């Protein structure tokens, strides 16, 4: 059995995210979870390509990616949209950067809190480094 240290496991996880195509957080942080928090906070936004949900998915991917550029984040969004069959936007990064700036800090705090609460309920087989 191969054992890994926490830094090694983090490196492996980060590598998997950076090699993924599109927006991997779509699978890990479902739209319904983000939508509930947006409703709870009474956040109003226009129905645009870079809504808070897509912007959050792209931003989280951008943070974990080796290439942290906005251009790379927009490329991930375009890759995601190809799979969704939606009209593709320009590769210009200004709309994404503006959408990211508009993300309320309280939204990020609530999302992190919701994820943390969910992690507390994970069964023992999924615990990090098999620690209870």
Tokens of 71: 């251009």
Task: Express each pLDDT in 33-52 by its tens digit.
Answer: 999 999 999 999 888 889 99
Please give the helix or strand (H or E) that residue 125 lies within, else none. Answer: none
Q: Where are the alpha helices (DSSP H) in 20-92?
A: 25-28, 31-40, 52-64, 70-84
pLDDT of residue 107: 96
The beta-carbon contacts of 96-102 under 8 Å, at least 24 apart in sequence, are 96/50, 96/55, 96/58, 96/70, 97/70, 98/50, 99/48, 99/50, 99/51, 99/52, 99/55, 100/55, 100/58, 100/59, 100/70, 102/45, 102/52, 102/55
Query: If DSSP codes are grouped into helix, strand and coil, which group holds residue 31?
Result: helix
Task: Express each pLDDT in 66-113 by its tens digit.
Answer: 889 999 999 999 998 888 888 888 899 999 999 999 999 999 999 989
Give the residue extent of every domain in the chain: 22-119
pLDDT of residue 94: 95
């Amino acid at each position: 059995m191969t054992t890994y240290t926490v830094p090694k496991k983090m490196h492996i996880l980060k590598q998997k995210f950076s090699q993924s195509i599109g927006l991997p957080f779509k699978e890990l942080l479902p739209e319904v979870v983000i939508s509930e928090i947006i409703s709870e906070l009474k956040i109003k936004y226009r129905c645009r390509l870079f809504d808070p949900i897509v912007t959050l998915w792209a931003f989280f991917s951008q943070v974990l990616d080796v290439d942290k550029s906005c251009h790379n984040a927009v490329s991930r969004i375009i890759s995601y949209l190809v799979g969704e069959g939606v009209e593709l936007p320009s590769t210009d990064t200004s709309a994404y950067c503006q959408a990211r700036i508009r993300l309320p800090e309280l939204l990020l705090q609530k999302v992190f809190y919701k994820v943390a609460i969910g992690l507390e309920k994970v069964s023992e087989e999924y615990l990090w480094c098999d620690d209870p």
